[in-house]
Amino acid sequence: MKTETDMRLAQKLRGRGIHPVIDTLEMRLRCELLRHAGTARTPEEVIRRALEYAAEAEQRIGELSARVKLLESLAETDELTGLMNRRGFHDVLYRNLASAARHEETGVLAYLDLDRFKTVNDTHGHTAGDEVLRKVGQFLKKNIRATDYAARIGGDEFAVLFVRGDHIRARERARELTARLNDLTVHWGESKIAVQASLGMASYDGTADPLELLDLADRAMYRDKAAPKRRRAAKARPA
């Protein structure tokens, strides 16, 4: 399980690699080598010790690199759902918009916000609410393409980035995904909790600004949430 210390360390190391750590390790090994070189009886012994220190350095650097990758992964993962968190999703968004600019790609950013989620928490408790969020996360993982990205960006808000696809088809996929999500029912004890979500979408190409794209999708989602929906009335039922 990730700790607060791990998260802070990952944030400090992110984008900087592990060069300060490697430099410190390299300096220590150099000092050790020089110290032992002064006491070595033959050039062969110096070479042998140099190779031993090189092998130790390679092993240590490999271990540190793996540790940094793990910490970075934890810093970008939502612990409850296993999806990317806001930070991880923003990184993915920026990378894909840069790719879109280079290769003239298009896609769609979709925002999903669970409706009446506070009622779920108030009625069934926050543990039930967490279970709903986990089920939504599992659903999104299972029902998007391997090349697309899903994230929980906070509270009961989720995002899906449909990459390298035609705008029209990507929007159709987003609507289909939302319709299937709105058929999801979470069993909690003897209760059945119906999942309902509002959808907002924003298309992008190589000229898109990431902050503007996020704002467009967010505002579209709130417009959808404010609009009356017959499907909600039909879906609503006692828990």
Tell me the catalytic residues: 156
Strand 157-162 with 107-114, pairing: antiparallel
The owner of tokens 């190589």 is 206
What Rg do the C-alpha atoms of the chain give, in angstroms? 25
Closest CA to 84 of 131, 45, 140: 140
CA pair distance 230, 225, nearest whole angstrom: 12
Estimate the share of the chain in helix, then strand, then coil, as percent rounded to the nearest 5.
60, 15, 25
Determine how many CB atoms are found less than 10 A away from the CB of residue 180: 11
